[in-house]
Structure 1
Amino acid sequence: MRTLRLRDRNLDLSRPIVMGILNRTTDSFFDKGSYYHFDLFLRKADELVVDGADIVDIGGVKAGPGEEITLEAELDRVVPAVQAVAARFDVAISVDTWRSEVLDAVLEVGAHLGNDISGFGDLNYTKVAARYGAGVVATHIRLKPRVPDLNPHYDYLADDVRTFLLDRVERAVQDGVDPHAVVIDAGFDLGKTTSQSLALLGTTQRLVDTGFPVLISASNKGFLGETLGLGVTERRMASICAASIAMLQGASVYRVHDVRGTVKALDTIAALRGHALDSRDHQLSANEA
């Protein structure tokens, strides 16, 4: 059985792993700060767990441009949040941060995974994760988080992204991170045009073939909205479809806003796929009889 090793937790990769997004920000592109206040944050955490989240992904700074959030402010947002979720729920906890100081603090109070959209721009990041036996997400990005990338160019898009991610995996492993605790993410909308993000979604198999679990973070993102002419609050079904397309190519982890809908969709694919395999085995047995 393939597993994702996150400290004291082993997540079974033979089934889809759903990561519920839970932001303690005031300016998230999707929820617009709906869960910044602590009671609302905890209520949403409970909802995500009940709906079937395997991982709760807590973030204190949005990925896109916006008001500067100091290290102290990010720590104030996410450390108490991780403590509260760890105390209340039996769920793996990821923290969406690119700062090694924040990663250190949240791992100290019970987090399991560092979800870094910067591609390990902080050179201490993977060293901190290794010290705790924690997992990391290596994400492709061209510039830095929160810096607009207005004209992204790639010589060979899928190959460039794959090479970048394998380099970051190698760095993490050299720093002592368990290879079975590393996840890779193509980074939709991070230094990619809409057509580039769509192309990467369509070639998810290229990353799956590396042997490392692939995280899909397409939920409600701009490339889906621009493709279909949908506002931020209208992208639910497109997000579920994107996750389903990636699952059919072998992706493992899905970072989403709609946990319940995604779980139902991916479980349906898994069930149909299993039924098809059972039917094929039965047919082979009948032919051999």
Structure 2
Amino acid sequence: MDTFTDPGTATALAAPFYTPPLLHAVHHFGPRTLDFSRQVALMAIVNRTPDSFYDGGATFALDAAVAASLGAVQAGADWVDIGGVPFSPGPAMSAREEGDRVVPVIAALSAASDVIISVDTFLPEVAARSIAAGAHVINDTTGLSNPEIASVVAESGAHLVITHSLAAPRTVYPRPHYDDVVTEVAAFLAHRVELALSLGVPAEKIIIDPGHDLNKNTLHTLEITRRFNEIAALGFPALAAVSNKDFIGETLDQPKYERLEGSLATGVICILGGARILRMHNVASASSAIRMTEAVLGWRAPAHLIHNMRDINEPGRPGRPSTAGTT
């Protein structure tokens, strides 16, 4: 074959990979539209917390958080997820303080870019302020621990991410046990989706997340990754938040800053299992991994078609070494 296969006819080529039965493949986020039947969204992470899991507070200052958000867009992010409170156990934070952390970042990013913006919160008051400031998505990592947040989303027309977690917000959940973690997580998500629907959130505004590492040990999370197709089979776009997490560190015996390769491998495995959104810290590297996966699946054309396309191979593009004749 001498030319790129039309992505519209490439479904058969991708048959070895899981194609989730999406109830609604096309989703509208403000000015942006994503077709999850043929693309994967890259969600960048920006936390305005002094004790964030990955960067230890590097983006706590307002100007640093805004700069990191804009930098993520420049590096290839389709989406920026902004948080003001860690998931990890700790003291409760008032809705006012949390909102004062995230709302200025949302407002600045919304004014400067058309990127999809989500806020990581479980408080209805913060959700309402965030949406008013320009957020398109509420990312509730507590699985509707406060159902009122779904009502806020329903009234606004925003999207809602429903995540599996078992603990009350910011509390310890020691030694989590599951008889079959994937079956139980899928059942939890299905139940919470029904709750969101009953509170007025349209099906085309719902995204699900099995919650890698959230109230799960490493074996649980590896099982979810291996059987991600069972989560995606629920019919809603599935998010995989795998970046630099402890299950990667424990599996590979690596500290946080050495987990990039494991994060990328895990992310690609989830895509092949039906994930359509990846939440990642290392945006440029994740963008390359996602776009390459999309090309293999037949959804994206190569940027160039030069190698072995003519009688004599041409030298590499300016600034790049030639690969002519390599094996």
Give the structure 1 partner of residue 46 of structure 2: 22
Q: What is the alpha-carbon root mean square deviation over aligned residues? A: 1.7
The structure with the greater share of residues assigned to helix is 1
Q: Which amino acid aligns with 1:90?
A: D
- Of residues 140, 145, 148, the one that matches 2:172 is 148
Contact 1:6 1:133 survives alignment (8 Å): no
Where do 5+ consecutive residues of structure 2 fail to align?
Answer: 1-23, 300-327
Task: Say which one has the larger Rg.
Answer: 2
Give the structure 2 partner of residue 10 of structure 1: 33
Contact 1:158 1:206 survives alignment (8 Å): yes
Per-residue CA deviation, residues 132-154 of structure 1 (Å, 9 max, x unaligned), is: 10100110011123222221111
Contact 1:7 1:133 survives alignment (8 Å): no
Find out whether 1:133 has 2:157 as its counterpart: yes
Q: Which amino acid aligns with 2:93?
A: I
Find out whether 1:165 has 2:189 as its counterpart: yes
Give the structure 2 partner of residue 78 of structure 1: 102
Q: Which amino acid aligns with 1:65?
A: P
Distance in structure 2 (CA, Å) of the matches to 1:68 and 1:173: 28
Question: How far off its partner does 1:54 sit?
Answer: 1.0
Question: How far off its partner does 1:101 sit?
Answer: 0.8
Where do 5+ consecutive residues of structure 1 fail to align?
Answer: 276-289
Find out whether 1:265 has 2:289 as its counterpart: yes
Q: Percent identity over the alignment?
A: 38
3-state secondary structure, aligned to 1:252: strand
List structure 1 runs of 4+ shifted beyond 6 angstroms.
none
Per-residue CA deviation, residues 191-222 of structure 1 (Å, 9 max, x unaligned), is: 10110011011110001111111100010111
Give me the TM-score of the superposition, normalised by structure 2.
Answer: 0.81
Per-residue CA deviation, residues 157-195 of structure 1 (Å, 9 max, x unaligned), is: 111100100111111112111211111111111110110
Q: Which is further off, 13-22 or 142-151?
A: 142-151
Q: Which amino acid aligns with 1:251?
A: A
Give the structure 2 partner of residue 204 of structure 1: 228
Contact 2:92 2:170 survives alignment (8 Å): no
Question: How far off its partner does 1:102 sit?
Answer: 0.4
| Match runs of 1:172-251 below 5 Å | 172-251=196-275
| Match runs of 1:50-65 below 5 Å | 50-65=74-89
| Match runs of 1:36-115 below 5 Å | 36-115=60-139
Q: How many residues are aligned here?
A: 277
Distance in structure 1 (CA, Å) of the matches to 2:116 and 2:29: 8
3-state secondary structure, aligned to 2:219: helix
Give the structure 1 partner of residue 316 of structure 2: none
Contact 2:30 2:116 survives alignment (8 Å): no
Contact 2:48 2:59 survives alignment (8 Å): yes
Per-residue CA deviation, residues 207-262 of structure 1 (Å, 9 max, x unaligned), is: 11111111000101111111111101111111111100001111100111011111
Give the structure 2 partner of residue 280 of structure 1: none
